[in-house]
Chains A and B, each alone.
Chain A
């Protein structure tokens, strides 16, 4: 099956610094990737939809200048949390769709990145 990787799996950073999280589709090309945030005991909250070669579409309430998304290739999307604060501490998960032509509808999830801001 399709595999999506994320790096790093966990990161601790100091308040005010920036952190970059990578999401890669390993054995398929993904024109669309999704970035989610999940707080403890809560559902996945979609932050943005990342499209290869174009600007990401952010959900209402998500600051695009704080959560920078770059989808430079069909296998890589990155999320950069800028000027991180303790309230940004969360579990960040990406997912990817197969190329539209396949229309399997299934999203393949990365293993997630646990971000802790001190």
Chain B
């Protein structure tokens, strides 16, 4: 079955710097890759997603890139701010199956 690996588990960056979180997946049939942000004790919130027919997607300070050949996708956050501190999860969905396979999560810490 599908397996999603996420790195790093913890990422600490200076406010204003960029943060990059990487995920790899195993099943080439996966065609949908969302990124979720979860604050402590709250629900995961979708921040950006990408489908397999697109290589890159950007939304203000957030961008996601997808390399289908290498089976990896990355989240890029530029000009980080204190409110970006949270746990970020990547996920992958297999074509025709709504089920999401989740990465282990990355705790992002923005240092003032």
Contacts and interface: CB of A to CB of B under 8 A. Distances in A.
Interface of A: 32, 34, 42-44, 46, 49, 91, 93, 97, 105-107, 109-112, 114
Given A32-B98, A49-B99, A107-B100, A44 B43 contact: no
Contacts of A49: 98-99
Contact of B41 (A107, A109, A114): A114
B54 interface: no
A49 to B, nearest CB: 6
Nearest to A9: B41
A44 B93 contact: no
B98 A105 contact: yes
Contact of A34 (B43, B45, B99): B99
Interface stretch (B12-20, B56-64, B65-73, B102-110): B102-110
Given A110-B43, A111-B42, A114-B41, A44 B49 contact: no
Nearest to B1: A60
Q: How many residues of B sit at the interface, in one of the four size bands? A: 10 to 19
Contacts of A105: 32, 34, 49, 51, 93, 98
A34 B93 CA distance: 14
B29 interface: no
B103 A93 contact: no
Given A43-B104, A44-B102, A106-B34, A112 B43 contact: yes
